Amino acid sequence: MLEFATDNKTAKNLSRRYRDKKLRRIYQGIYTDDLTTSIENIVLQEWMKIIPYIVSRGILGYSSALVLKPVRFDSKSSIVFVVSTYEKTINLPGLVIKVYQGEPDKFFEQITPNLARSNLPRSLLENLTTVRGASYIGTKTVGIEGIEKILSKELHLRGEEKLNAIRDEARIIAQELNFNNEYEKLTKIISALLSTHHDKNTLVSPYAKAIAQNKPYDDYRVQLFDELIIYLKKCEFIFRQCQYEKNSFKNLSFYESYFSNFIEGTEFLIDEAEDIVFKGEEINNRHADSHDVLSNFTITNDLYEMSITPRTPKELIEILQRRHSILMKERPEKRPGEFKIEQNKAGNTYFVSPKESLGTLYQGFERYNILNPGFERALFMHFLISEVHPFDDGNGRLSRIMMNAELVSHEDYKIIIPTVHRDNYLNGLRLASRDKNFKTYVKVMDQAQAYTASINWKDYGEARDKIESDHANSTADEGIPLFNRILRTLKLSDIAS
């Protein structure tokens, strides 16, 4: 907790407690009763309370008005930019407060009872100023690309009227505070985003270009895809070659479909699934559930279909819609082959919004092309579809079909996710999506492919016996100890830490 010397009486009291070692002093007139946490950490945690005390009439400006947090300045300190009636540099433990002379009493908005910042139009102009002083390059402003991203998101979320309102207010601010050059830069960006300015070189940010082309995408997800690519490139994957043979392909495709549906809660006994797929029977009047298994098998057992991979973004969309229409044929309420029109989620995790789905798939495809065919592309494609969740239902099954098509086209073994491995698989996806921790996801997939390759698929009975004896079709609670022992006997890839 911080305590401030707001008058002489308080100052004397704080000084006495400081001498008695009951407080620590952070800066002249600022104390804390926290006797253990480093002063640097306290300053960075409480900076919004400190600035109003130290900088009279100060408001957050430049990059600080937009990001609302200190940014790294050098190896020892972060920095915050403030506008007041004077110029000064204040050095605190772990934090530099750079005060610029300006107009603190106009065009601002309150963010706490004691602290304000430049309002959006003003802060955009401030961040388009030319930075003087090499030490402040990259910190004082967010740069043109940062401005483009902010305006693009405003356009995407609030429409053209919002950008026009920003431009109108920025014109007034520019005239009064002498930001005329910055206003010219701002209006060019806004015009380009609103397609009233057709110079393709005006926009710098890929996100802004996508918005201007009416192809918005989920910026967080695209950053996530970039980080997955970097992680995949750090790994050394084993090539597990699979020679096509009709019976073995059929047997593997059966279990691929069986387990893929089991993951999604469409649960049958293996005997029941055999009757559905091999005899065409419907189980216990469960028409749609039965066809979920059968339609999945129809796709995965088709070597021609499973050898098709996208060469263009357009082909990716066509493949997704075609396979989804087959997969969900008996569930017309799920709009087979049609992209979602409402936001979908799993638990507290929201997937890509309908408006951003197509653009995110396009961005994903650009990155997919960077990767090596086979295992790298398979894991990326699976994660792409899982994160976008482009349809109302069936996205998990479709993501695994798309993944295995990448493997089949490269003569790699498919990946099946047996029931015993389900929890590890879903946990890997969660860690990757929420924490950008890809190790578990990649490790589980590598284990699953190694296990798939260890089974003799030519003999159906032998394959089933192994799956059951390994407890692969058991729940994690029942089967994981034995299944983990089986995994330890397999040759696995070198997965990055």
Termini Cα distance of the chain? 39
Please check if 94 is assigned to a binding site.
Answer: no
287-300 and 270-279 helices, crossing angle to 10° = 70
Please check if 397 is assigned to a binding site.
Answer: yes
Other CB atoms within a 10 A radius of the CB of residue 249 amount to 22
Beta bridge partners of 71: 79
Please check if 115 is assigned to a binding site.
Answer: no
Please check if 479 is assigned to a binding site.
Answer: no
CB contact at 8 A, 253 and 261: no
Name the residue with tokens 């100052």: 11
Please check if 400 is assigned to a binding site.
Answer: yes
Residue 110 backbone phi and psi in degrees, to 5:
-80, 135
Q: Is 389 a catalytic residue?
A: yes
User: What is the rounded CA–CA span in Å between residue 496 and residue 275?
Assistant: 42
Among candidate residues 156, 324, 389, 471, the one labeled active-site is 389
Q: Which residue from 173, 170, 172, 175 is spatially nearest to 190, judged by alpha carbons?
A: 170
Please check if 399 is assigned to a binding site.
Answer: yes
Catalytic residue IDs: 389
Known binding residues are 393-400
Known binding residues for ATP are 393-400
